[in-house]
Amino acid sequence: MKLKSFNLTLGTQIFKAFGDEARIRILHLILKKKEICISDLELILEFTQTKISRHLIYLKNSDLVNYRKVDQWTFYSIKEEVEEFVDTMFKYLSKDLDLQKDIDTYNTLHSNRELAANKVAMKGYKR
């Protein structure tokens, strides 16, 4: 369901969420990667788990993000109804070097995981 109307209450929540650099960086990673967990955010942003959690709670309470649990992991995604609006906001920040660096760090982290998984799989295959 897409956002059909924009009222003052929702607008205030969204703009407050964008009022903090840490929340902007978190939202940007979630938007670009569709879904991300706290431990990845910690590694990429070099924030403490407490700081990440505090900002994610703020974003959940602002109705900007969904979450789902898988075992001990919690994965966050942008709510479908505000995704288009959030994406539009980030079009104005697309050239920001910090946000670009965050994506590059995520891509390196993801690539290293794939390499490690392949290495483990190949060890099992060689036996």
For the full predicted model, state whether its pTM sits above 0.85: no
pLDDT of residue 77: 94
Mean pLDDT value across residues 55-71: 90
CA distance 62 to 120: 41
Judged against a pLDDT cut of 70, whether residue 125 lies above it is answered with no
* Residues 3-21: tens digit of each pLDDT: 566 678 777 888 888 888 9
Side chain identity, residue 88: T
* Residues 22-40: tens digit of each pLDDT: 999 999 999 999 998 888 8
Taking alpha carbons only, the member of 104, 112, 111 closest to residue 44 is 104
How far CA 68 is from CA of 36, 54, 58, 76, in Å, comes to 10, 17, 16, 7
pLDDT of residue 5: 64
Domain 8-126 has CATH 1.10.10.10: yes
At what angle are helices 38-45 and 49-61 packed, to 10 degrees? Answer: 120
